[in-house]
Amino acid sequence: MRAFLTHLAVDQNVAAATQNQALNALLFLYKHVF
């Protein structure tokens, strides 16, 4: 998960809000699906 978020920040140059949205989506996935 950390590698994916780092990839977004470094390689994709996404905004902080986008990184936060990705983190929240992953947390939701792990809490409610797995």
Q: For residue range 1-34, list pLDDT tens digits in order.
A: 889 888 988 999 999 999 999 999 999 999 999 8
- Quick one: pLDDT at residue 19? 93
Asked whether the beta carbons of 7 and 32 are under 8 A apart, the reply is no
- Quick one: pLDDT at residue 34? 81
Identify the three-state secondary structure at position 23: helix
Task: Compute the C-alpha angle 14/33/6, nearest 5°.
Answer: 25
Give pTM, 2 decimals.
0.72
Number of domains in the chain: 1
- Quick one: pLDDT at residue 5? 87
Which domain does 29 fall in, by range? 1-33
